[in-house]
Amino acid sequence: MLEDFISQFWPSTIDGLALGAIYALVALGYTMVYGVLRLINFAHAEIFMVGSFAALGTVQVLGVSNVGGLALIGVVALMAVVAGAVASGGAMLLELVAYRPLRKKGASRLAALISAIGASIFLQQLFATIVIPWVFGTSKEGGRLPLDEHFVSRTNVIDVGPVQVSNDKLIIFIGAILMMIALDQFVNRTRLGRGIRSTAQDPETAVLMGVNIDRVVSATFAVGGAMAGVAAALYFLRFEQAWYFMGFLLGIKAFTAAVLGGIGNIRGALVGGFALGLFEMYGSSLFGSQWRDVVAFSVLILVLMFRPTGILGESLQQARA
């Protein structure tokens, strides 16, 4: 047990960071929507799933296999753009159909939560029954679509002593960091970003100051969706498969990450994502990989017992973004 942990420490750390980067990207979508609307966007997990299928489609259209080196970066960038765009559009549509009417009626957040669960079931089933058989032409193993051959040729690019990082993990890590920097710049530097922050702080005053709330909410969903789409492309790079139910577990993990860091807090989502990824990987090397979800949720309960609003605390006001 402990020997496993020590011998696996560096590989677990690398895996944990790669996984945490994906969690963090998805968590950003949860946390931004929460920050602006105080709403748990349960269907965000399905936006991630939609992005994964966009990534899969991109690779199938390109028809590439065993890509390595610089070409891989190009393919991943293209995947990320396509998946990001599709997921972003999907998220905006979701907001328009499932949340905006409720918002206009001043419905309770609980009603919005049920609407989100309904939208989530709808999207899963849409892919399971229509998109996968009709667009992708197959429904292997209950909608699980692995590629026929690996499209990534995995090589270790950094190999210093105990640390070995393969090219896909490096791309995931760097790609995620780039997206986070871009988001930080967007939220803190642009006009729309300022709208998002002001709405998060005080929607009523924001309206009085001339912020178009509908546009801000739409933009929040679009940006969150784009993050989930890029996360999906990076996830696809690592696991090379997509299926209709894949969003569920990743979604609740990412939401856990957002809460762990302090929901509504953008930097909290990053901290929470990486912390959760690391805890999970260390946990599975300590107790065996079948316990990793149990470890993840136990850590969440323990952290919230001692820090009831997450590691960095909740409010957007305090953390600038």
Could you list the residues that contact other proteins (CB under 8 A)?
34, 36-40, 97-99, 101-115, 117-126, 128-130, 199, 201-204, 207, 213-214, 248, 252, 255-256, 259, 263, 290-291, 293-294, 296-298, 300-301, 304-305, 308-310, 313-315, 317
Output 174 or 249, the one with its CB closest to other proteins: 249
Output 49 or 75, the one with its CB closest to other proteins: 49
Q: Which helix (H) or strand (E) holds 304?
A: helix 292-306
Give dist(CA 34, CA 37) in Å, integer: 5
The answer to whether the beta carbons of residues 265 and 319 sit under 8 Å apart is yes
Each as own residue / partner, the long-range contacts of residues 41-44 (CB below 8 Å, 24 or more positions apart, any chain) are: 41/99, 41/116, 41/221, 41/224, 42/113, 42/116, 42/117, 42/119, 42/120, 42/251, 43/94, 43/98, 43/116, 43/117, 43/119, 43/120, 43/123, 44/91, 44/224, 44/225, 44/228, 44/251, 44/254, 44/255
In the bound complex, what is the minimum distance in angstroms from residue 17's beta carbon to other proteins?
A: 22
Output 19 or 67, the one with its CB closest to other proteins: 19
In the bound complex, what is the minimum distance in angstroms from residue 21's beta carbon to other proteins?
A: 21
CB atoms within 10 A of CB 66: 12
In the bound complex, what is the minimum distance in angstroms from residue 301's beta carbon to other proteins?
A: 6
In the bound complex, what is the minimum distance in angstroms from residue 218's beta carbon to other proteins?
A: 13
Output 109 or 150, the one with its CB closest to other proteins: 109
Output 102 or 182, the one with its CB closest to other proteins: 102
In the bound complex, what is the minimum distance in angstroms from residue 50's beta carbon to other proteins?
A: 14
Output 71 or 209, the one with its CB closest to other proteins: 209
Identity of the amino acid at 200 = A
| 4: exposed, middle or buried (Cβ count in 10 Å: 0-12, 13-18, 19+) | middle
Interacting residues of 245 by C-beta distance below 8 A, sequence separation 6+:
49, 124, 128, 142, 143
In the bound complex, what is the minimum distance in angstroms from residue 98's beta carbon to other proteins?
A: 5
In the bound complex, what is the minimum distance in angstroms from residue 163's beta carbon to other proteins?
A: 31
- How is residue 166 written in tokens? 């393969």
Output 30 or 236, the one with its CB closest to other proteins: 30
